[in-house]
């Protein structure tokens, strides 16, 4: 039996469809149900929905053998897990954005608003840029509009929200997609089962 | 629950002590404190850079030990001719968990310092396997040699390889390929790493695959050293419990050569970690060193459940009771192997299989 932590929401549903096609369907499964755990003895899987940012925690702690999380979350939380597959879905990018017409003033620290404190810190440390971070939990775009920050570091999918608020991407930090992660200890004891799952999922990956 | 059914830290240490002393290892006791400077100079060797410090009465900045190995090699009397074989059970102090608060962590470890040859490697690996077996028969000891991956990196001219090593240790071949593309590294490098990481089979079968990949001096030497482990497999008698896994990476500033980690079936984290640290030992004396540590706090899953902690009989007595009779009754029950609580009133938060009023 493999325990799988799926991220609640659209991405999790897409991932489940991939797993279903790869032979890991769960008869009990119903995305609108209030049940938290779904089991399918025949296919040897147990699914549970968790908050996307909690997936690496469930996997690292071994409550789930495998899980699916965005690269953004894996980098931000620095989980000690195996990252076995790029699922090539949920694609977007982590980017720096600012008000259109913004010009960087190198003589003072850059004020950055973000949900992704660690990613922002590492990115600017690599550039030797002194920054002042403001951690927010949502509506990051507001910060530069109200003059609270110079720039934001956030996920950009289509760029529509930015455009509508007179903001634009000034730099891409890294491309993001969903990854299959595996608990290191569980991998040792369920080696064949997990390797089979990785191989079966590989066949279902979308083309580049 | 029978007494032998549950895990007991004291008993485990007793078994390990017998095991290590049987092979001539001596127990090393040390102070809880160490001069902070030792850790400052060797920060990268520590699992976490955070250390609890205080100033002693002479004005020296001291630290509560975050690590044991450093204290051992710092004081070693071993030479290249005369090895020291030591084991320890000590507490270390490190931030842990989501709250990042300092915790006292109990660990048992073993160090071979001095002349570490092929036999020494086998002895330490065998003791690591036996230690895991003492915790749980269902264990895995993953072994690797840093030289294989480092040799490959050297062959392909990769100098600043931290990022590459991070991809290797998380078996992340997809991002490694992208990284190589961006940095103009020959794609053959990523293909070879991918072959190493996906190799399946017994220790010797995986080693055979590594041999195809190891073409430069450093990696060839590493493969030769691993061959010693493969050859002696019959005598170690662990079957497929000892595996070769090239994703094990320890800090390359201090570690070199053989590295290994151990897992037991009930714990979601690694419970044993070890390796060869000639580079660290070389900073203090002209010696080589190999050792491992077992993290006892990772074995909580094996500890006695709440069920075993419960008291069987509650004996209630009052001022008018015959105290001698109460004691006699309690004694009878404990002689029968039951746990007894004698009290005037029943504690609100506990349940008892039997309540007796005397």
**Interchain contact, A185 vs B267, CB within 8 Å:** yes
Own/partner pairs for A135-144, CB < 8 Å, 24+ apart?
A140/A113, A140/A114, A140/A115, A141/A97, A141/A165, A141/A167, A143/A113, A144/A97, A144/A98, A144/A99, A144/A102, A144/A113
Interface of A with B in 65-104 (CB under 8 A): 81-86
Read off the pLDDT of residues A44-70 as tens digits, 9 standing for 90 and up. Answer: 999 999 999 999 999 999 999 999 999
**Interchain contact, A185 vs B170, CB within 8 Å:** no
Cβ atoms of B140 and B243 closer than 8 Å: yes
**Cβ neighbours for B329, distance < 8 A, ≥ 6 positions apart:** B315, B356, B358
Read off the pLDDT of residues A123-168 as tens digits, 9 standing for 90 and up. Answer: 999 999 999 999 999 999 999 999 999 999 999 998 899 999 999 9
Cβ atoms of B251 and B44 closer than 8 Å: yes
User: What residues of B are in contact with residue A81 (Cβ under 8 Å)?
Assistant: 170
A126 touches chain B (CB under 8 A): no
Q: How many Å lie between the alpha carbon of A199 and the closest alpha carbon of chain B?
A: 11
Read off the pLDDT of residues B39-69 as tens digits, 9 standing for 90 and up. Answer: 888 887 787 788 999 999 999 999 999 889 8
Show the CA angle centred on residue A205, arms to residues A201 and A206, nearest 5°: 165
Cβ atoms of A151 and A99 closer than 8 Å: no
Cα–Cα dist B136/B130, whole Å: 10
Burial class (CB within 10 angstroms; exposed 0-12, middle 13-18, buried 19+) of B338: middle
Burial class (CB within 10 angstroms; exposed 0-12, middle 13-18, buried 19+) of B275: buried
Which position has the token pair 């991939």?
Answer: A18
Rg (alpha carbons) of chain A, rounded to whole number: 19
A188 touches chain B (CB under 8 A): yes
Cα–Cα dist B291/B125, whole Å: 9
Give the three-state DSSP class for B275: strand
Cα–Cα dist B279/B276, whole Å: 9
Which one of A176, A188, A206, A208 would you mutate to disrupt binding with B, by most B Cβ within 10 Å of its Cβ? A188
Cα–Cα dist A81/A72, whole Å: 15
Least confident of B212-216, B233-237, B259-263, B306-310: B306-310
**Interchain contact, B171 vs A82, CB within 8 Å:** yes
**Interchain contact, A184 vs B140, CB within 8 Å:** no
**What's the token pair of residue B312?**
């069987």
pLDDT at position B52 is 92
Q: What is B1-137+265-309's CATH number?
A: 3.30.930.10
| pTM score of the predicted model | 0.85
**Mean pLDDT throughout A97-123?**
93
Cα–Cα dist B112/B126, whole Å: 13
pLDDT at position B346 is 83
User: What residues of A are in contact with residue B175 (Cβ under 8 Å)?
Assistant: 83, 86
Write down the ipTM of this complex.
0.87
**Interchain contact, A62 vs B172, CB within 8 Å:** no
**Interchain contact, B142 vs A189, CB within 8 Å:** no
Cβ atoms of A66 and A58 closer than 8 Å: no
Note the helical H segments in B23-145: 36-41, 69-74, 118-135
pLDDT at position B4 is 42
**Interchain contact, A82 vs B140, CB within 8 Å:** no
**What's the token pair of residue B40?**
């400052």
**Interchain contact, A61 vs B268, CB within 8 Å:** yes
- Where in chain B are the domains? 1-137+265-309, 139-247, 311-357
Q: Using CA coordinates, name the residue in chain B closest to A183.
A: B268
Which one of B141, B162, B172 would you mutate to disrupt binding with A, by most A Cβ within 10 Å of its Cβ? B172
Residue B1 has pLDDT above 70, yes or no: no
pLDDT at position B2 is 40
Which one of A184, A192, A199 would you mutate to disrupt binding with B, by most B Cβ within 10 Å of its Cβ? A184
**What's the token pair of residue B310?**
């419960």
Burial class (CB within 10 angstroms; exposed 0-12, middle 13-18, buried 19+) of B198: middle
Q: What percent of chain A has pLDDT over 90?
A: 81
**Interchain contact, B269 vs A185, CB within 8 Å:** yes
CA distances from B356 to A5, A25, B206, B321 (A): 49, 56, 64, 12
**Cβ neighbours for B69, distance < 8 A, ≥ 6 positions apart:** B45, B109, B111, B277, B280, B291, B293
């Amino acid at each position: 039996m493999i325990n799988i932590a799926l991220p609640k929401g659209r991405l999790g549903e897409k991932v489940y469809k991939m797993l279903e096609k790869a032979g890991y369907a769960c008869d009990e499964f119903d995305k609108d149900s209030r049940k938290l755990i779904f089991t399918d003895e025949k296919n040897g899987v147990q699914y549970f929905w968790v908050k996307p940012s909690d997936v690496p925690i469930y996997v690292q702690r071994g409550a789930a053998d495998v899980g699916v999380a965005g690269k953004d979350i894996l980098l931000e939380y620095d989980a000690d897990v195996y990252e076995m597959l790029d699922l090539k879905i949920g694609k977007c990018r982590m980017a720096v954005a600012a008000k259109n017409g913004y010009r960087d003033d190198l003589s003072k620290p850059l004020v950055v608003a973000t949900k992704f404190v660690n990613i922002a810190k590492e990115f600017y440390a690599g550039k030797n840029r002194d920054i002042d971070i403001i951690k927010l939990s949502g509506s990051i775009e507001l910060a530069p509009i109200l003059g609270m920050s110079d720039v934001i570091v956030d996920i950009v999918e289509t760029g529509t929200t930015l455009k509508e608020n007179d903001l634009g991407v000034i730099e891409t930090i890294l491309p993001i997609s969903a990854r299959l992660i595996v608990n290191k200890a569980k991998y040792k004891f369920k080696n064949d089962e997990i390797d089979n799952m990785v191989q079966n999922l590989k066949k279902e990956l979308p083309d580049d | 629950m029978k007494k032998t059914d549950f895990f007991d830290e004291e008993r485990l240490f007793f078994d390990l002590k017998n095991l290590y002393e049987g092979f001539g290892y001596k127990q090393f006791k040390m102070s809880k404190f160490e001069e902070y400077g030792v850790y400052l100079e060797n920060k990268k060797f520590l699992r976490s850079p955070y250390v609890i410090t205080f100033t002693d009465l002479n004005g020296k900045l001291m630290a509560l030990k975050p690590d044991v190995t450093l204290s051992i090699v710092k004081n070693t009397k071993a030479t290249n001719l005369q090895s020291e074989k030591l084991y320890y059970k000590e507490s270390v102090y490190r931030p842990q968990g989501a709250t990042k608060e300092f915790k006292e962590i109990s660990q048992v470890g073993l160090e071979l310092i001095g002349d570490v040859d092929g036999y020494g490697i086998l002895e330490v690996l065998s003791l690591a396997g036996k230690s895991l077996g003492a915790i749980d028969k269902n264990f895995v000891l993953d072994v690797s040699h840093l030289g294989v991956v480092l040799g490959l990196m050297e062959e392909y001219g990769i100098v600043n390889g931290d990022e590459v090593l991070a991809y290797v240790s998380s078996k992340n071949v997809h991002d490694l390929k992208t990284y190589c593309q961006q940095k103009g590294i020959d794609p053959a490098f990523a293909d070879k790493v991918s072959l190493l990481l996906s190799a399946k089979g017994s220790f010797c079968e995986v080693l055979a695959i590594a041999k195809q990949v190891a073409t430069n001096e450093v990696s060839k030497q590493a493969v030769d050293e691993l061959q010693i482990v493969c050859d002696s497999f019959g005598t170690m008698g662990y079957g497929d419990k000892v595996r070769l896994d090239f994703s094990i990476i320890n800090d390359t500033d201090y570690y070199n050569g053989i590295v290994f980690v151990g897992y037991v079936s009930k714990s979601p984290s690694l419970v044993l970690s070890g390796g060869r640290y000639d580079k660290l030992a070389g900073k203090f004396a002209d010696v080589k060193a190999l050792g491992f540590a077992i993290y006892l706090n990772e074995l909580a899953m094996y500890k006695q459940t709440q069920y075993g902690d419960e008291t069987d009989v509650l004996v209630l007595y009052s001022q008018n009771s015959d105290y001698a009779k109460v004691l006699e009754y309690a004694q009878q029950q404990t002689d029968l192997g039951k746990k007894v609580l004698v009290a005037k009133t029943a504690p609100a938060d506990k349940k008892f299989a039997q309540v007796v009023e005397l």
